[in-house]
Structure 1
Amino acid sequence: MDIKPTPIPGCYEIHPRIFTDQRGSFVKTFHQDIFRQHGLETHFAEEYYSHSRQNVLRGLHFQLPPQDHVKLVYCTAGEVLDAVVDLRLGSPTYGQFATFSLSAENAIALYMPKGLAHGFYAVSEQATMLYRVSTVYSPEHDAGIRWDSAGIPWPSAVPILSSRDQTFPTLADFASPFVFSAPLEPARV
């Protein structure tokens, strides 16, 4: 498992080993000791998945404090353009975004610290995303920013959106409660 930093501090791409044979493939998506060695969260309170058809955009979502959470996501079927936006006041990348190609084929996972908005766009005909989060879903802390307010170059200007995702405030209008805390330097393994 190779853990690579991204342009957003505390956000990492997790590149697992993919084992293949005549039956198909096998991928380890989480290893507690490796995560600990890199200073990453190892306690996840919930796990769920979404299945989306092509041109669906989900996001940009997060939970507000005190129910904010670390998130680990990966694509188990199809391909998505995944995106994060840094909402942490004082962060050197506050208000900036980063995008990633996640697919069943590349098996890359994305680790997000607290204080990032997250969303994705289904590039393939169908896409299944799995999420692990460090806190339990809390409807009263569930929030987001508008998908088109952070400058992310989504593949479509007219994606399929939920009515909820269309009503979020823009990044410019969002009063962030998140504060940046420099991540620990990962151990070199």
Structure 2
Amino acid sequence: MNIIKTKVDGVVIIVPKVFGDTRGYFFESWKATACREAGIGSTFIQDNESKSCFGVLRGLHYQAAPYTQSKLVRVVVGAVLDVAVDIRRGSPTFGQHVAVELSGENKRQMFIPRGFAHGFVVLSDEAIFAYKCDNDYMPSAERGICADDPALGIDWRIDREKWVMSPKDQALPMLANAEFLEIGK
């Protein structure tokens, strides 16, 4: 695995070694020892998968303490623009984001530590998105930030009028009005 550090501390891109031939391909999508060596110490307890069509924007989501989650995200089929926003109060990169295209073709993954809001938009006709979490989902701890908050400056690469969002995601607050996380929570 090749680990690529990003401009925001803790968020890394994982590029697996893919072995392909006429039969297809093989790669290790998770290897605890390699990830620990790269500073990813999360113990994942749950795997999730979603299927979405073009323009679906999910996020930006996070959970309040003590239910914060680290995530390791990837795309099995299709392509998405995946985004992680630093919401750790006191962080030198508070409010900054990392955006990366994840696809079934490039097999890249993004590790998102606790203290980040997360979301993605589907760039292909459809996408199957898979991710690992290191804490249980807790509905009462659900929080989020408006995906098109100008303070975030995220280029989602799809015109706003083509977004397909849930009513809940459409009603998320701007960063200035969101509940932030303290570093270390």
TM-score normalised by length of structure 2: 0.94
Q: Is the 8 A contact 1:61 1:119 kept in 2?
A: yes
After the TM superposition, which of the residue ranges 29-38 and 11-20 deviates more from structure 2?
Answer: 29-38
User: What is the match of residue 168 of structure 1?
Assistant: 172
Matched, 1:156 2:159: yes
Cα distance in structure 2, aligned partners of 1:109 and 1:178: 26
Which residue of structure 2 aligns with residue 144 of structure 1? Answer: 144
Aligned 1:103-118 pairs, distance under 5 A: 103-118=103-118
The secondary structure found in structure 1 opposite 2:50 is strand
Residues 138 and 175 (structure 1), Cα distance of their counterparts in 2 relative to 1, 3 Å cut: closer
The aligned residue for residue 122 of structure 1 is 122
Give 1:37 deviation, angstroms.
Answer: 1.5
Distance in 2 (CA, whole Å) between partners of 1:42 and 1:95 is 23
| Matched residue SS, 1:59 | strand
Residue number in structure 2 paired with 1:135: 135
TM-score (normalised: structure 1): 0.92
Confirm or deny: 8 A CA contact 1:10 1:113 kept in the other structure. Answer: yes
Distance 1:87 1:61, change over 3 A: same
**Contact preservation (8 Å) 2:82, 2:119:** yes
Moved over 2 A (4+): none
State the secondary structure of the residue aligned to 2:175.
coil
What is the aligned-residue identity percentage? 37
For the residues of structure 2 that align with 1:17 and 1:85, how far apart are their CA atoms? 27
Map Cα deviations across residues 85-142 of structure 1 (whole Å, 9 max, x no partner).
1101121110111210100111000001101111111000011110100001111111
Structure 2: distance between partners of 1:7 and 1:145: 21
Tell me if the contact between 1:13 and 1:111 (Cα under 8 Å) persists in the aligned partners. yes
Q: Distance in 1 between matches of 2:58 and 2:83?
A: 10
Most deviating of 58-67 and 167-176: 167-176
Change (3 A) 1:161 1:143: same
For 1:66 and 1:107, locate their aligned partners in 2 and report how far apart those are by CA, in whole Å.
Answer: 31
1:1-189, aligned counterparts within 5 Å?
A: 1-149=1-149, 150-154=152-156, 155-158=158-161, 159-179=163-183
2-structure distance, mates of 1:42, 1:170: 29
| SS, match of residue 169 in structure 2 | helix
Stretches of structure 1 lacking an aligned partner (at least 5 in a row): 182-189
Q: Is the 8 A contact 2:90 2:182 kept in 1?
A: no
The residue number in structure 2 matching 1:187 is none
Please give the secondary structure, in 2, of the residue aligned with 1:30: coil
CA shift for structure 1 position 42: 4.0
Q: Give 3-state SS (helix, strand or coil) of 2:25's partner.
A: strand
